[in-house]
Amino acid sequence: MAGGRTINVLNVAEKPSVAKSVAGILSRNQGLRTRDGRSRYNRIFEFNYSINGRPCHMLFTSVTGHLMELEFEERYRKWHSCDPADLYQAPVRKFVPEDKLDIRRTLEEEARRCQWLVLWLDCDREGENIAFEVVEVCTAVNPHLTIRRAHFSALIDREIHEAVQHLVEPNKWFADAVDARQEIDLRIGASFTRFQTILLKDAFIIDSATDDRNLVLSYGPCQFPTLGFIVERYWENQAHEPEEFWTINCSHKSDEGIATFNWMRGHLFDYTCAVIIYEMCVQEPIATVTKVRQQEKLKYPPYPLNTIELEKRASRYFRMSSEHTMKVAEDLYQAGFISYPRTETDSFSQRTDLHAIVQEQQRHPIWGSYAQQLLDPGAGLWRNPGNGGHDDKAHPPIHPTKFFSGENGLSQDHHRLYELVVRHFLACVSQPAVGAETNVEIDISGELFSASGRVILSKNYLDVYRFESWGSSLIPTYVSGQQFTPTSLTLDSGVTRPPPLLSEADLLSCMDKEGIGTDATMHDHIKKLLDRFYATKDSNTRFSPTNLGEALVMGYDDMGYKLWKPYLRAVMERDMKAVSEGTKSKAEVLLTSLQQMKACFLDARLNKVKLFEAMGIFFERSNRSGGDEQHAHGEVVRQCGLCQESDMVLRRNRDGNFMVGCLAFPQCRNAIWLPGSVSEAVVTTDICNTCTPGPVHLIQFKFRQLEIPPNYNANHLGCIGGCDEILSQLIEICGTGSRVPARGRGSTASSSGVQQSNSRPGEARRSACIYCQQTVHSSSDCPSHVSGSRSAQYRGMNPQTGDSSIPCSTCGTPCTLRTANTVTNRGRKFYSCPSQNCNFFVWEDNLNNGTGGRSVRSAGMNISASNSRRSSSRGRGGRGGAHAASTTFVSATGDPISGRRCFVCGDPSHFANACPNRGS
């Protein structure tokens, strides 16, 4: 085998930089000649080498990624040339596009005079596919070529020399998997894009686009799930119903400073329960220190930097878009300042000379001294970097490759990104920060509170990684068993907040987690959503869907298709894996996958009215198209009391359930959900003579008899204005047809079963009372709507007792059974006195087990109150008047205050939580 005639070997890498590196390594830069090819970027390197003892003249060149593209044959290229459904079987072909023709010419010219072709493409599926594209071009001009594949996992001498001595066959399965992916993406993308663009573009006045003639309503298996993440979070954000909660805070001031103790229960949603616990604490406000724990805490530096992490951090630290970040990183890479920026790898190979990279930075005026310290063994700052667990086997983590003093003409963003890469790298090879933490737990009347303080002992990596911080806080010294009187003990209220809109970093995380796009393309998908007017990004890098984006997702969602979810991509990814492992053939996957997608496409087209309806919610119809699809507007019931601009109309929601909603949706989200048992509803010309502001049209309802209690009539002429007891009861009994989670329509039913909601972005929302439209209370607490007759009508509804009301033990008014809707007690039944001046309150299950009005259960703990009236203190401070507990309150200073008063200032008109002097 050794010796023999010298052969010419054509070597092809995926990109010019790899061709240069590998040629340099193999030639050891001895006798390496370089010349231009046909393409200005892809030079040709020449040197002599020997493979397995055989003398070779090596020609080393490159492509720039894929050499070929997949397209439909000419006659299917024009949008109106065929039915989009035909695109599932229209013939496709691979071809070398115009801008790659010069690369093809280089390959052809060099291949003609070679005997071997060695493929040095990246070792992943795409790389293998590109390898076959190169093979196709080269064997077309020289069918006698011997084809070989080099397998290498890093551009390191030993790897490369080993790879060339152990050449293998290229892997067709890998290439097939990519072929299948390309074909499926093309057919789905083109068919849905043409379909929805042609259907909707001219049918509506889509004002988001500057020039809607060029508007393309694209669909893609990556861009739509990315939009889906944004819309879904937006809906969660909009649907959030703020819920009030209660927490007890304690502080203690001593000569050494202040400690703030947090209630270890966190917070409770049940005011009654919180206030009882609070009162118990206030009764005996002596804190006993139960635990003092001191321990060393480490804060570790980040893992080595890969592409997604670079994008996320640049977004977080500099608010740079991922797309811009990659452009800047590419410039820095081209200029030789940083390593290859498209990498999944977040761990350094053991062979990387990390010290040499640090040495380069020693002369930097700002972080140079830190680099020097790192290299000083006496300083003990060095630590081998962590392993993030990802390795694409092609590139190292992003790191600085050359010292950049900053004086050349690059922009501020280039400087900032270079700084991030350098500081991140220096942080990675540094010791973690060390802190001493103290945790103190105290007990007040059986309730536990904790406080913590931290002292930073050594900042280590935080000295160079200025983007991260670790706060320190001092608290006084405590010893176990010590007792003290708190300086303040307050019952504070708060409200739950909606989940925030997705930031760019969040969005990248979602995509990464669900496998949408690759590290090199994620930023493209995000940018595409902005370019297509599907989403917008605010100054805080948070994404919201535009009306267009929301309407499209809503339309497909209404069809019941999860085309906007990541599942489709996940299924495709599984199929690709099966092809690359040889367990499924490319043909098999293409056949089944395209069959399913075509069926889905045809079905979506049958249901196009859903897309129309969704678009109709947000956009006006244009007269440019025939307008064959009717957009049902519904019949007017009354004027909207919330926006006071539009009418409330009777409609069916997409599940077929009836609702009365504001025509101004989505600007106004006011809605009244009707009982799920309504089978028919028609707005009549009859006007309600009690409800104001009028006119409120009565609705003729027909209920499904089996779904309502026997004593109710299936036919009912009802009013949604608030006067209709029967309707309210049926809503309470049967529930409504609202969907959970709803898209901004309120996600939980209130105890009356009637939901009202109205939200605009950035505006906090509170349910409005159905009866009087006020927002200060919910419908169940409406003062205009409690009457003695109400409880009478409930009689006979409870089969166990035969009576669902009990007399109030205080004032005798009948109390009706209601259902709680708090997080801690959702679904639990209770009685409460409807009288405005009375606060009697008791859980139904406590009545049944004989503890009526005596105990409140929450958070898995039973707390018995000594005074039965205490549990009646519902509502906020000041409402307790008639039933004030006769407990003795003790102020924080230990002075007794008799009667039910604010323990901060002693004023009987309010409680401490509402005290204007609190905190002073």
Partner DNA sequence: GCAAGGTC
- List active site positions: 340
Residues whose CB is less than 8 angstroms from the CB of residue 458 and which lie 6 or more positions away in sequence, other chains included: 431, 433, 434
CB of 390 to DNA, least distance (A): 14
d(Cα 404, Cα 401) in Å, to the nearest integer?
Answer: 9
**Of the two residues 124 and 159, which places its CB atom closer to DNA in the complex?**
124
What are φ and ψ of residue 571, in 5° steps? -65, -45
Which of 10, 104, 126, 421: binder of DNA (CB under 7 A)? 126
Nearer to DNA, 294 or 596 (CB): 596
- DSSP secondary structure letters along 359-413: HHGGG-TTTHHHHHHHH-GGG--B-PPP--S---SS-PPB-B-S---S-SS--HH
Window 398-427: contact mask with DNA (x via CB under 7 A): ------------------------------
- Shortest Å distance, C-beta 342 to DNA: 5
Provide the 8-state DSSP code for 202.
T
CB of 793 to DNA, least distance (A): 57
Q: Position 176: which residue type? A: D
Q: Which is nearer to DNA, 75 or 355 (CB)?
A: 75
Q: Of the candidates 171, 182, 750, 819, which one interacts with DNA according to CB under 7 A?
A: 182
Q: Which is nearer to DNA, 312 or 900 (CB)?
A: 312
Query: Any idea what the Cα angle at residue 903 is, between residues 897 and 907, rounded to 5°?
Result: 80
Residue 820 contacts residue 791 (beta carbons within 8 Å) = no
3-state secondary structure of 70: strand
- The site string for DNA over 475-514 (x = CB under 7 A, - otherwise) reads ----------------------------------------
Query: In the bound complex, what is the minimum distance in angstroms from residue 385's beta carbon to DNA?
Result: 24
Least separation in angstroms between residue 640's CB and DNA is 36
Q: Look at residues 566, 574, 661, 565 and name the one whose alpha carbon lies nearest to residue 613.
A: 661
Which of 321, 518, 872, 873 lies at the binding interface for DNA (CB under 7 A)?
518
Closest CA to 268 of 277, 259, 257, 260: 277
Nearer to DNA, 334 or 888 (CB): 334
Minimum CB separation from DNA for residue 170, in Å?
Answer: 17
SS3 356: helix
- Inter-residue contact 544 to 234 (CB < 8 Å): yes
Least distance between DNA and beta carbon 72 (Å): 5
The answer to whether 549 contacts DNA (rule: CB under 7 A) is no
| Site size for DNA (CB under 7 A) | 52
For the CB of residue 163, give the shortest distance to DNA in the complex, in Å.
Answer: 17
Q: Which stretch binds DNA (CB under 7 A): 72-80, 492-500, 812-820, 846-854?
A: 72-80
Of 525 and 785, CB closest to DNA: 525
CA 553-557-559 angle, to 5 degrees, is 125
Stretch that binds DNA, among 191-199, 465-473, 592-600, 903-911 (CB under 7 A): 191-199
Is residue 334 within the footprint of DNA (CB under 7 A)?
yes
Question: Which member of 137, 190, 508, 640 binds DNA (CB under 7 A)?
Answer: 190
124 binds DNA (CB under 7 A): yes
Report residue 410 as tokens: 């690059």
- The residue (of 441 and 514) whose beta carbon lies closer to DNA is 514
Q: Is 520 in the site for DNA (CB under 7 A)?
A: yes
Looking at residues 787 to 806 of the shown chain, list those that interact with DNA (rule: CB under 7 A). none
Instruction: Map residue 68 onto helix, strand or coil.
Output: coil
Residue 852 makes contact with DNA by CB under 7 A: no
Please identify, among the stretches 4-12, 142-150, 192-200, 685-693, the one whose residues bind DNA according to the rule CB under 7 A: 192-200
Distance separating alpha carbons of residues 353 and 375, to the nearest angstrom: 13
Nearest to DNA of 531, 725 (CB atom)? 531
Binding of DNA by 669 (CB under 7 A): no
- Contact call for residue 189 and DNA (CB under 7 A): yes
* 574 in contact with DNA (CB under 7 A): no
By beta-carbon proximity to DNA, the closer residue of 99 and 407 is 99
Taking each helix axis from N to C end, the angle separating 522-531 and 223-239, rounded to the nearest 10 degrees, works out to: 70
Q: Is 77 in the site for DNA (CB under 7 A)?
A: yes
Site for DNA in 197-226 (CB under 7 A): 197-198, 201, 216, 218-224
Least Cβ distance, residue 605 to DNA (angstroms): 15
- Under rule CB under 7 A, residue 312 binds DNA: no
Task: By CB under 7 A, tell whether 100 contacts DNA.
Answer: yes
Restricted to residues 336-355, the positions that interact with DNA (CB under 7 A) are 342
Of 100 and 883, the one with the shorter C-beta distance to DNA is 100
Q: Which region, judged by CB under 7 A, interacts with DNA, from 184-192, 382-390, 416-424, 663-671?
A: 184-192
| Residue with Cβ nearer DNA (59 or 576) | 576
**By C-alpha distance, which of 165, 154, 156 is closest to 123?**
154
- Residue 98 is classified by DSSP as G
Query: For residue 302, what is the DSSP state?
Result: P
Q: According to the binding rule CB under 7 A, does residue 170 interact with DNA?
A: no
Least distance to DNA from the beta carbon of 92, Å?
9
Encoded one letter per residue, x for contact with DNA by CB under 7 A and - for no contact, window 31-70 reads ----------x----------------------xxx--xx
Q: CB of residue 228 vs DNA: minimum separation in angstroms?
A: 12
Contact between 753 and DNA (CB under 7 A)?
no
**Using N-to-C axis directions, what is the helix angle for 412-428 and 322-334, rounded to 10°?**
80
Among 123-131, 495-503, 680-688, 742-750, the segment contacting DNA (CB under 7 A): 123-131
Burial class (CB in 10 A: 0-12, 13-18, 19+), 638: buried
Residues in the chain: 920
Is 640 in contact with 647 (CB distance < 8 Å)? yes
d(CA 443, CA 478): 13
Contact status: 517 vs DNA (CB under 7 A): yes
Site membership for DNA, residue 653 (CB under 7 A): no
Q: Which of residues 220-279 bind DNA (CB under 7 A)?
A: 220-224
DSSP string, 835-885: -TT---EEEHHHHHTT-TTTEEEETTEEEE-SSGGGGG--SSTTTTGGG--
**Beta partners for 652?**
658
Amino acid at 819: T
Q: Is the preceding omega at residue 498 within 30 degrees of 0, hence cis?
A: no
Distance in angstroms between the alpha carbons of the first and the last residue of the chain: 92
339 within 8 A of 399, measured Cβ to Cβ: yes
| Residue appearing with tokens 């009347």 | 445
Q: Find residue 700's DSSP bridge partners.
A: 682, 717
Min dist CB 571 to DNA, Å, is 14
Site string for DNA, 7-26 (x = CB under 7 A): -------xxxx---------
Instruction: Tell me the angle at which helices 172-200 and 125-141 cross, rounded to the nearest 10 degrees.
Output: 100
* Shortest distance (Å) from residue 203 CB to DNA: 12
In the complex with DNA, the residue whose CB is nearer, 191 or 805, is: 191
Show contacts of 592-599: CB within 8 Å, 24+ apart. 593/180, 593/184, 594/88, 594/89, 594/183, 594/184, 594/187, 597/88, 597/184, 597/187, 597/188, 598/85, 598/88
The answer to whether residues 61 and 43 touch, using CB atoms and an 8 Å cutoff, is: yes
For DNA, which residue of 85, 145, 156, 186 counts as binding (CB under 7 A)? 186
Sites of contact with DNA (CB under 7 A) = 14-17, 41, 64-66, 69-72, 77-80, 99-100, 122, 124, 126, 130, 181-182, 185-186, 188-190, 193-194, 197-198, 201, 216, 218-224, 330, 334, 342, 517-518, 520-521, 524-525, 528
